[in-house]
Structure 1
Amino acid sequence: MDQSGITPNTSNQQLVNGSDNDSATALLQEKQARRRENLGDVTFREYMTVGILCFVNLINYMDRFTIAGVLADVKSEFNIGDDWAGLLQTVFVIAYMVFAPMFGYLGDRYSRRKIMAAGVALWTMTTFAGSYVTNYYWFAVFRGLVGIGEASYSTIAPTIISDLFVGNVRSKMLAFFYFAIPVGSGFGYIVGSVAGAIAGDWRWGLRVTPVLGAAAVILVAFVMQDPERGQAEESTMKPTSYGDDLRALVKNPSFMLSTLAFTCVAFVTGALAWWGPLFIYLGLNLQPGVAISKESVSFKFGIVGMLAGACGVPAGAALAQRLRARLPHCDPLVCGLALLASAPLVYLALIAVSAHVAPTYILMFLGMFTLNLTWSIVADVVLYIVIPPRRSTAEAFQILISHMLGDAGSPYLIGVISESLKRSLGSGDMESPSMSVQFRALQYALFVTCFVEVIGGAFFLMTTKYIVRDKQKVDRAIAEAEAHGSEASHSQAQEENVPGE
C-alpha cells in the first residue's frame, strides 16, 4: 500500500508527477466539472448541518473562555495565585491535545455523529457538574474532562464540512465555521462575568453553556448530516492503518510546514489571550490621569478580540478565494504575509500601551485581525492536501502539535520570562515589584510573540513551494482509486455475465 492509502499497481511516483494514467486523468477532469462551485447548489439540509456545527463551535469556545471571564472570582473562591489559576487552563489544553489523536483515529473509521454527540454530552455534563465542585483539585479534574469532550468535536467537525463541499463553497463554509471561534470566545468572557454578576455567584457563569450544550447534543444526534467520507469528491478510498496515516502525514511537506506555521499562530494567540488584559491594565495605569479597572480592560479586550476575529476570519477566506484563479499557491502566501504584517502591528501595540489609550486598542485590533486571516485558510489547506479517509487523523495531529508547542506552553513561557526579568529590572527586589517593573518585564516577555510570528510567516512561505504539487497528488489519488474501483466493478460484471461451462 502506498502513501496515498490506495492499493492500485500504479506507482506513487506517477501520482506525484501527475502522469501516465489517461483514464484517471479523464475521470479527474470529469469530477472537477461536476463539482458545485456556488452556494446556490447547497441544499437546505447541508445548510442546517453547517449551522449546527457552527452553533456547537460557538458554545464550545464560550465554554472554554467562561473561566477567564470570572478568573478573579475563581482565584478568590479557591484561594489560589496566578500559577494555580493558570494551571486550570493548562490541564484543559493538555487533556484536549492528548485525546485529539484518539478521536482523529475514531473519526476516520466510525460514526462521527455518535462520537460528536457523546463528546458534546461529556463536556456539557462535566462543565455543569464542575460548577458545584468546591475542591480545587477536583475542579481541575473536571476541566480536564471538559477538554476531552471538546477534543472529540474539534477534531471531527471540519472533516464533515470537507465531505459535504469542495472548492470555494468549502472555503466559505469553513470561514463560517471558524468565524464562531472569536465570537464564541468573546461571548465566553461576557457570559461568564455577566451571569455571575446577576446571580451573585461566579458558578452560574458555568451553567449557561450546558443548557445550550444539551440542545446541541439533540441537534447533532438527530438533525446533523453525517456524509460518507469523501462524498463531495466522490471518493471511494478506504481507511488505511494508523501507522500508514502517520507516516504519510510526516512525509507530506505541505502538511508539516503548515502545521509548524499554525503552531506559531497558536503560540501567539495563546500568549496574547492570557496576558493581554493584564498587560494593557498595567500599561494604562502608568499613564497620568488614567483610572481604569481590570474588569473594564478585560471587557474591552474581549470586544477587540471578538471584532478582530469576526472580521479577520472571513476576510482571509474571501481574499484567498479571489486570488486562487491567478495564484494557485496563494493560500500559504496570504497566511505568510498576514503573519509578517501582524508582527510589527503587535510590536507597536506593545509599545504604545503605556502612552496612548486609543492607538493601543487600534493597533491590537489590527495585529489580531491580520493574525486571524490565517484560521480558515489553514483549515482549508489541511483538508485538500490530505486524502479523505485520513483527514480526521490530520486534524488531530495538527491539534496535538499546535497545542503542545503553541498555546499550551506560551502563557507559561511568557510568565517565566517575565518573572526572570523582574529580578533584573527591579534590582533583585521580588517582594513587591513596582507596577512599572511588572509592566516592563511583561512587555519584554511579550516581544517574543513578534519573533514567533516572523518564524510562522517563514514556514507559510516555505509551504508555497509544495502546496500545488501536494494538492494535485491528492486529487489524482482520489481519481486513481475511483478508476481502479470502476475497472474492478466492470471486470466483476463481465465475469458474472460469462455463460457457465
Structure 2
Amino acid sequence: MPDRFSRSQKTLLTVLFFINFFNYLDRQVIFPLFHNIQLSFHVDDFQLGLLGSVFMLVHSLTSLPFGLLADRFDRRKIIAVGVGIWSIATLVSGLAQSFKVLLGIRSVVGLGEAAYAPAATAMISDNFPAHRRATVQGIFNIGMFLGGTIGAMVGGLIAYYYHDWRLAFLLVGIPGIVLAIWATRLQDQRTNLPESKLSLASLRHNWPFIWVLIGSVLVTFAGGGFVTWGVEFIRRYEGYNLRDSALILGLVFMAAGILGVYFGSLLADWLHTKSSSGRSFLVGWSLILAAPLVFAGLTFGQGFFVYFFFGTMLISFYHGPVTAIIHEVVPRHLWASAFALYLLVSHLLGDSLAPAVIGRISDQVNLRVALQFSTVLIFLSGLAFLTVGFLLRPGQDGNQDDPERHS
C-alpha cells in the first residue's frame, strides 16, 4: 500500500480488504462441496446450480435498497449489519438437514453480502484521491480473489479429507463477526454535497453507464459459470480428484486474479492520465484477448492451466477499473446507488443465472460445451467496454467537485 496514504486511509482499506476477503470466502466455499452435497441430498446438476443462482438472485435484488441506504446513512453501520447477517447465516448453513433448508439459508447469506459492496466502494472512492481510484479499488478487489480462491481450496480440502461439507461452513463463518464490530470503528470522510435534483432514474439516459451494465452482465455470467463449475470441470475432464482440482484451480485463479487486478488497476490509472477513455479501453481489449485463451483451455486438454491462467489474468483487468469507471460517469451523490444498480443488473442477469443455466446445458449436452458458450460472452463484453470508451467525453468525471483528498 503506498506510503503516502494516511494512517486512517490504510486502516480503512485494510479492514475493507479483509471483509471482502471473507465475503468471497463465505460465498465460494460451497462450490467444491457440490459433489458431497449431491450425495447427501440426491439432487441433480440443475438443483446444485440453484445454490449459486438463488444466492445471487437475492443478492442482486437487495443490493439496490442497500445502496440507496448507503448514499443517505452511516455506511459503517450498514456494512456491520450486513457482515453480521452473512457470517451467522454461513455458520447456520452447516446445520441444514434438507436441500430446501440449505437453499433458504444461502439466500440469507446473499442478503447480508448485498449490504457490503455498494457502501464499501463508495467509502473507498470518497476517502482516496481520484487519480488513484482504480488502484485502491483494485487492492480492495484482490481480497475478492484471495477469499474466493482460498474458499474454494478450503472447501475442497475439507470435502476430500473429512468428507463432511458441514464443517466447512462452521469454520469460515466465525471471522466475519469480529470484522463486523471492527467496521463500526472506521473513519469515513464522507463528502457532503449540496442536495441534487438528479435521482437514480436519471441514469437511464446515461449511455456510458448503460454500456457498463451490458458489459458487466456478460462478463459476470461467464465468470459465474467458471467459478461455479470450474472445479467440477477439472474433475470430469482433466482427470484430477476433488482435492487436486480445488487446489490447482484455486492457485491458478488466485495467482492470475491478483496479478490481473493489481497490474490492471495500475495500468488503468496510468492510461486514465492520458485519456478519459483509458480505463474503458483497457478493460475492453483485455476481455477481447481473454476470450480465445479461455476457449482454447476448455477445448484442448494439453495446456489447460496455461491458457486458463493468462485468460483469467486478462479478465481480472476488469475488476479494479470498473468501479472507477462507474464513479467517473455518475454524480458523486449516486455512487453507492449506481454501484448497487450495477450489482443488481450484473448479478440478476449474470451470475445468478449462470450456475443453473450452465448446469442445464451440462445436463442436456455436456459441461465442456456449456463453459465454451461463456467465452463468447467474454468477447462481447469486451466490445461493450470499448463502446463505453468511445462514448466518454474528454475530461468526463462524475467527481469533478472532488478535491485531491488526502493526496
CA distance in 2, matches of 1:189, 1:248: 40
Counterpart of 2:188, as a letter, is D
**Paired residue for 1:323?**
271
Q: CA 1:215/1:82 → structure 2, altered by over 3 Å: closer, same or farther? A: same
* Structure 2 residue 330 is matched with structure 1 residue 386: yes
- What is the aligned partner in structure 2 of residue 280 from structure 1? 234
How far the C-alpha of 1:127 sits from its partner, in A, is 1.3
C-alpha contact 1:194 1:205 (8 A) present in aligned 2: no
Q: What is the correspondence of 1:93-172 to structure 2 with a 5 Å cutoff?
A: 93-172=56-135
Equivalence for 1:227: 189
Match of 2:224 among 259, 270, 295: 270
Name the counterpart of 2:305.
361
Instruction: Give the equivalent residue in structure 2 for 1:293.
Output: 241
Partners in 1 of 2:159 and 2:361 — Cα distance? 33
Q: What secondary structure sits across from 1:383 in the alignment?
A: helix
Q: Which amino acid aligns with 1:163?
A: D
Aligned residue pairs, count = 402
Determine if contact 1:254/1:470 at 8 Å carries over to the other structure: no
Shift of 1:196: 5.5
Separation in 2, partners of 1:62, 1:133? 19
- Quote how far apart the aligned CAs of 1:167 are: 2.5
Question: RMSD across aligned C-alpha pairs, in angstroms?
Answer: 2.0
The residue type equivalent to 1:193 in the other structure is G
Specify the alignment match of 1:489 in structure 2.
none
Counterpart of 1:498 in structure 2 is none
Residue of structure 2 equivalent to 1:449:
374
- Indicate which of 275, 280, 297 corresponds to 1:332: 280
Aligned pairs for 1:12-411 (under 5 A) are 39-195=2-158, 201-222=164-185, 224-228=186-190, 231=191, 236-238=193-195, 240=197, 244-285=198-239, 292-353=240-301, 356=302, 359-411=303-355
Shift in CA distance, 79/351, structure 1 to aligned 2, threshold 3 Å: closer
Structure-2 separation of matches of 1:237 and 1:142: 41
Q: Distance in 2 between matches of 1:266 and 1:66?
A: 18
Kept in 1, the 8 Å contact 2:157–2:243? The answer is no
Q: Distance in 2 between matches of 1:410 and 1:139?
A: 19
Distance 1:410 1:390 in 2: 28
Q: Which has the higher contact order (CA 8 A, sep 6+)?
A: 2
Unpaired stretches in structure 2, ≥5 consecutive residues? 403-407
Displacement after TM superposition at 1:321 (Å): 2.1
Provide structure 1 residue ranges, at least 5 long, that are not aligned to the other structure.
Answer: 1-37, 286-291, 423-440, 480-501
Check the 8 A contact 1:315/1:373 in 2, yes or no: yes
Please give the per-residue CA displacement for 1:192-211, whole angstroms capped at 9, x wherever unaligned. Answer: 33355666632121122222
Aligned residues of 1:193 and 1:205 also touching (Cα < 8 A): no
Give the AA of the match of 1:62.
L
Name the SS for the 2:212 alignment partner: helix
Q: Distance in 1 between matches of 2:371 and 2:110?
A: 26
Distance in 2 (CA, whole Å) between partners of 1:347 and 1:198 is 32
Q: CA deviation at 1:320?
A: 1.3
- Where in structure 2 are the equivalents of 1:4-19 lying within 5 Å? none
C-alpha distance in structure 2 between counterparts of 1:404 and 1:54, whole Å: 24
For residues 75-132 of structure 1, the C-alpha deviation after alignment (integer angstroms, 9 at most, x for no partner) is 2222322222221111111110010111011111111111111111111111112222
CA distance in 2, matches of 1:443, 1:72: 18
Supply the distance in 1 between the matched residues of 2:34 and 2:367 (Cα, whole angstroms): 19
Mark the CA change 1:382 to 1:419 in structure 2 (over 3 Å): closer, same or farther: same
Which amino acid in the other structure matches residue 407 of structure 1? D
- Which stretch of the first structure deviates more once superposed, 165-174 or 262-271? 165-174
Give how far 1:404 is off.
Answer: 1.5
CA contact (8 A) 1:53 1:177 kept: yes
- CA distance in 2: counterparts of 1:442 and 1:139, whole angstroms: 24
The structure with the largest alpha-carbon Rg is 1
Separation in structure 2 between the aligned mates of residue 197 and residue 346 of structure 1, nearest angstrom: 27
Q: Provide, for residues 269-289 of structure 1, a one-character-per-residue CA deviation record: whole Å limited to 9, x for no partner.
A: 01112222333333334xxxx
Aligned partners of 2:194, 2:171: CA distance in 1, in Å?
Answer: 42
- Taking every aligned residue pair, what percent have the same amino acid on both sides? 26
* 1:450-477, Cα deviation, whole Å (9 max, x unpaired): 22122111111111122235824x345x
Secondary structure of the structure 2 residue equivalent to 1:50: helix
- Seen in structure 2, the aligned counterparts of structure 1 residues 277 and 210 have a Cα distance that, compared at 3 Å, is closer
- Quote how far apart the aligned CAs of 1:64 are: 0.3
Q: Distance in 1 between matches of 2:161 and 2:299?
A: 37
Return the TM-score normalized by structure 1: 0.76
Q: Is the 8 A contact 1:130 1:143 kept in 2?
A: yes
